[in-house]
Amino acid sequence: MKLTQRKYYHAFIFVILPLLLAFTSSSVFAQTGSIRGRVIDKENNEAVIGANVIIKGTYKGAATDINGNYYIPGLAPGDYDVEVSSIGYKISLHTGVKVESNSVTNLDIELETTVLAFGQEVVVVGKKPLFQPDLTSSLQRINSDEIKGKIANNIDDLLEHQAGIVKVDNEIHIRGGRADENLYIIDRVATKDPLTGRSYGVFLSVDAIDELEVITGGFNAEYGQAMSGIIEVKTKEGGQEYHGSVSVKSDHIGMEKIRNFNTDAVEISLGGPEPFISKIFPALGIKIPGSLTFFTNGYMFLSDTYLPHASKLIPSVRKYDPFAKRQENNWSSLFKLTWKYKNTKISGIYKRSLQINQGGFKYSYMNWLDHYNTITWEGIQTNLLLTHSFNTRTFLEADFGRVFINKHSAVQGKYFDEYEIANDLYPIQYLVDFPDGDITVWNRDGFYDTGDASNWHDHYSDTWTLKAELTSQISSNNRLKTGFTTEFTDMQVIDIDDPWLKGAGNSFGGSWDIYRVKPRAGDFYIQDKIVYEGMIINVGLRYDYMILGRLASDIINNMNVSPHLSKKFREDFKNNTFKIFNR
């Protein structure tokens, strides 16, 4: 009996078990698929040799051969993210690549050249991954292709559709913070008005945006002056082929009998190789190496909105009268010239915007808006941007630019000494008290009907910025970034309330602020991103400074100039600040 059992046991071990294993193995391998394709240069269609093709989240991958071909076998059925990289090119991430059993998925890939160090630019093809494990901040990114599918006119319209962001009274609030706690960065330069803390005056249409990035938490050391969110915008560049677009929107063409807001929006964009220098200079015997491209954009938005409005808006400068045709008037223009040669890229940018409206008026002036303030916001931004790669791991970004912002608010273009006192005189009502016959005259209904609104305001800020950042991929798991920023600002403020109450001496009205300051500010930072298996460490150090100038010290030291400041505030200011360069 025991011998018979042992005989069957040996038969199972040496005959049946190998057959089962062979059958199981063949079944498993029969259920796998593969990916093959070719990697080429997008500009010249030539094969990219030695490009790395990796299946994200696995250990599988391949390198392209002399013809740019690659083949990755043995993939279980499912959806994969395929990352393709090569020195001198942007990383290309193809998401949602479907692999089926017993089949070959063909995936041909075009790589775009870049002057940045390896790994600094990523092009996503397909749907973006829901989770990016290498990010240590809360970040949302929108590219130009995604923007095309959205109904939006400006940056704020795009932002209000992002998670954690709401738009209330035309103001953007991130994570419940105030509107002045956000920092807008356009082409690597901050556009924050130092007086209001907001980015009014620098208006940019969505068709000029190449990429919009919103950081709502976990700021790196390179960012400062923001508590709620960072909004960073990169504008478009011209390519090697001419491209353009024209957009016209209206709510009243052929619809005059239907209620509308008399709104018109027109946008024109054009980009491509620069046509003049590339032809004129060679004709003169001057040859410029590299490529020179341009991009230009113009935008107009006019509307009478849904609110009551004045019969005519009068802007701060008479030459702007043709741009104030309706209640809401937004104008912007952008011109960008980009030169690329080997590992260097230089861009010259000029942006200008003009906004004319009445803002949010007080309810008591609803019937008297011809004598309410017209607000003129003007913004001018000029930048010179340099990007240079020293090698495949290290590159430099340097910026030199100017941001000028001006806000003017006045009634009918008047100077403050031309204002007339505002009164509520009509309608006149006579109330008879029976049976005594006493008559009471009542001449107020809560709405002004004579005189002018009570405020006159004008301020400007003129900021020059020099900024440089050096990034180096020290190793595959260690990236170091350091930089500095220095700013020089000239700011003047004139704000007068109830100017008809001006008295003897130097009084300008019931209350007023008039000053001009020239503060200096800047920062230094260094940050290091270290990647280990299952862990990412992002550590940084940042130092910010501000030189307020003598005016601030005079206000603190002179009780007659600032009697409303408490003694403790003055002591804290003296204890927490120090002189630099004897200022």
DSSP for 374-431? EEEEEEEEEEEEEEEESSSSEEEEEEEEEEEEEEEEEETT--GGG----B---S-EEE
Q: Are 115 and 343 in contact (CB under 8 A)?
A: yes
The yes-or-no verdict on residue 84 having pLDDT over 80 is yes
pLDDT grade for 484, boundaries at 50, 70 and 90: very high
Computed over every residue of the chain, the mean pLDDT equals: 81
For the segment 2-23, the average pLDDT, to the nearest whole number, is 48
Closest listed residue to residue 298, CA positions, set 330, 321, 328, 273? 330
Q: How far is it, in rounded angstroms, from Cα 16 to Cα 8? A: 10
The yes-or-no verdict on residue 357 having pLDDT over 50 is yes
Q: How far is it, in rounded angstroms, from Cα 547 to Cα 542? A: 17
What tokens appear for 26 in the block? 């063949």
Closest listed residue to residue 452, CA positions, set 503, 418, 492, 484? 418
CB environment 41-68: b (16+ within 10 A), e (fewer)? beeeeeebeebbbbbeeeebebebeeeb
What tokens appear for 554 in the block? 């005079």
Choice between 540 and 362, residue whose per-residue pLDDT is larger: 540
Q: Note the pLDDT tens digit of each residue in 214-262.
A: 887 778 888 877 778 888 888 988 888 898 999 998 888 776 667 888 8
Residue 204 DSSP class: -
For the segment 356-371, the average pLDDT, to the nearest whole number, is 86
The yes-or-no verdict on residue 469 having pLDDT over 90 is yes
Q: Are 526 and 481 in contact (CB under 8 A)?
A: yes
Question: Other C-beta atoms within 10 Å of 383: how many?
Answer: 21
Question: Other C-beta atoms within 10 Å of 509: how many?
Answer: 20
The yes-or-no verdict on residue 29 having pLDDT over 50 is no
pLDDT at 185: 87
**112-121, 450-459, 550-559: the lowest-pLDDT one:** 112-121
Of 422-426, 477-481, 520-524, 560-564, highest mean pLDDT:
520-524
**135-139, 375-379, 471-475: the lowest-pLDDT one:** 135-139
> Which stretches of 218-256 are assigned E, i.e. beta strand?
229-235, 243-250
At the topology level, CATH places domain 138-235 in Ferric Hydroxamate Uptake Protein; Chain A, domain 1 (2.170.130)
What tokens appear for 106 in the block? 């063909």
**95-99, 279-283, 343-347, 381-385: the lowest-pLDDT one:** 279-283
Q: Are 52 and 93 in contact (CB under 8 A)?
A: no
CATH 2.60.40.1120 is held by the domain 31-125: yes
pLDDT at 375: 93
